[in-house]
């Protein structure tokens, strides 16, 4: 998930009275919820290095043991060398509670990352397999809204805290309002929800009533998450049944959520011969037949020929080759060699020539199947 979601998750955990366990509890949870993303530093090496290393070692089982220990040591050092040195009267942090909170916050990170279609390598460094929850879109505004409400309704009146949440809310609202992928009704619903949160915070609600409202928002988010998972199970079942009626045995089904629309899924099913791309509506009342439509014609699954294999094994594509989930290959040969399109149908269509994200690579090979220097190593 995005950094905003991880930050909100850590802050929300703090509001379940965990912040009362020890000083610096909230900071520990928020830092723990974000610390696995220290691998973002490899992004300076390019998109392929990012795909090769991100959501790997710092998100795997070994990191889940080590990172909380490191975070706890840092929090204890900060408490001793800075916080209590400036004010010796402050209560020292509880090492055991801090360690427990560090583990909880850190473990929340791969749990959230697992929820989307991008995937996470939970067993690194012992096993590089990717795991996918296919439950939430990588940026989910309803997660932002419900967890954000939990926090805003319970945080203090300090100007710094209020200013920080106003800035974060403005940034989130800009994304939801201006992102082309977010449908207009979802943008309207976002603003209605945001204004309702502001009204409750500005009202004369007692702290007890605000805490009750916050708990209700947290319960609503947990319910939303459960319903999204249930919706995916239903979508997978409907698609499997739909394809079986056409004589197709779906071996793998990815039920990809769409941006800001919890009732829609973009489905990709793999049989032993083809990829089948479908759209599905989970809107109440939609029949199992009318709710499913094809996005494009079935795409044959073909093993890469020697040219495509050479492109996939090119030095500049190590990360993409490791990450691609539903690959298709297209080779265009010419006098100087070959242009190879490698597409991941999770994020691009089979005839795409450009991509706004990371779903496609274009590799230039010479006649000896060596990668040419002008190969585009980034997404197109």
pLDDT in the model for residue 211: 74
pLDDT in the model for residue 378: 40
List b or e across 44-63, with b for residues whose CB sees 16 or more CB atoms inside 10 angstroms. Answer: eeebbbbbbbbbbebbbeeb
Instruction: Determine which helix (DSSP H) or strand (DSSP E) holds 102, and give its type and residue range.
Output: helix 95-113
Contact 324, 313 (CB under 8 A): no
Nearest one of 89, 71, 82, 88 to 25, comparing CA atoms? 71
Region for 24 from its dihedrals, namely left if φ exceeds 0, alpha if ψ lies in -120 to 50, beta otherwise = left
- For the chain of 380 residues, list the mean pLDDT of each consecutive stretch of 10: 92 89 96 97 93 96 98 97 93 97 98 96 97 92 90 76 82 90 91 89 74 82 94 94 96 94 95 97 73 95 96 95 96 96 96 87 96 62
pLDDT in the model for residue 156: 64
Nearest one of 340, 360, 361, 339 to 348, comparing CA atoms? 360
pTM above 0.85, yes or no: yes
Task: Name, in order, each residue with C-beta under 8 angstroms of 115's C-beta and a sequence gap of 6 or more.
Answer: 1, 133, 135, 136, 225
- Report the alpha-carbon distance of residue 156 to residue 207 in Å, rounded: 10
Give the residues across from 256 on adjacent strands: 266
- Report the alpha-carbon distance of residue 44 to residue 202 in Å, rounded: 43
- Report the alpha-carbon distance of residue 92 to residue 38 in Å, rounded: 27
């Amino acid at each position: 998930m995005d950094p905003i979601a991880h930050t909100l998750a850590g802050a929300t955990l703090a509001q379940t009275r965990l912040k009362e366990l020890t000083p610096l509890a909230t900071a520990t949870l928020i830092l723990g919820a974000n610390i696995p993303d220290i691998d973002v530093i490899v992004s300076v090496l390019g998109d392929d290095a990012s795909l090769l290393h991100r959501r790997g070692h710092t998100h795997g089982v070994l990191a889940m043991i080590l990172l909380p220990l490191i975070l706890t040591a840092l929090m204890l050092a900060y408490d001793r060398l800075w916080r209590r040195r400036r004010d010796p009267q402050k209560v020292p942090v509880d090492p055991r509670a801090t360690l427990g909170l560090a583990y909880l916050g850190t473990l929340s990170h791969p749990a959230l990352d697992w929820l989307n279609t991008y995937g996470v390598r939970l067993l690194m460094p012992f096993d590089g397999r990717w795991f996918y929850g296919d439950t939430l879109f990588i940026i989910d505004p309803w997660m932002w809204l419900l967890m954000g409400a939990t926090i805003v309704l319970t945080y203090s009146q300090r100007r710094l805290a209020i200013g920080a949440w106003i800035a974060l809310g403005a940034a989130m609202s800009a994304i939801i309002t201006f992102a082309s992928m977010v449908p207009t009704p979802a943008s309207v619903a976002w603003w209605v929800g945001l204004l309702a949160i502001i009204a409750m915070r500005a009202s004369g609600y007692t702290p007890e009533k605000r805490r009750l409202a916050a708990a209700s928002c947290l319960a609503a988010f947990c319910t939303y998450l459960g319903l999204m998972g249930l919706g995916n199970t239903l979508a997978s079942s409907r698609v499997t049944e739909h394809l079986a009626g056409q004589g197709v045995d779906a071996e793998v089904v990815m039920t990809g959520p769409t941006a800001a629309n919890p009732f829609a899924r973009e489905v990709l099913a793999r049989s032993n011969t083809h990829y089948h791309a479908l759209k599905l509506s989970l809107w109440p009342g939609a029949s199992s037949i009318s709710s499913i439509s094809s996005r494009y014609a079935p795409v044959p699954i073909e093993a890469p020929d020697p040219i495509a294999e050479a492109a996939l094994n090119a030095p500049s594509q190590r990360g993409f080759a490791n990450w691609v989930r539903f690959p298709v290959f297209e080779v265009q040969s010419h006098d100087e060699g070959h242009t190879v399109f490698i597409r991941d149908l999770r994020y691009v269509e089979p005839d795409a020539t450009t991509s706004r994200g990371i779903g496609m690579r274009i590799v230039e090979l010479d006649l000896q199947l060596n990668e040419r220097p002008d190969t585009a190593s980034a997404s197109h």
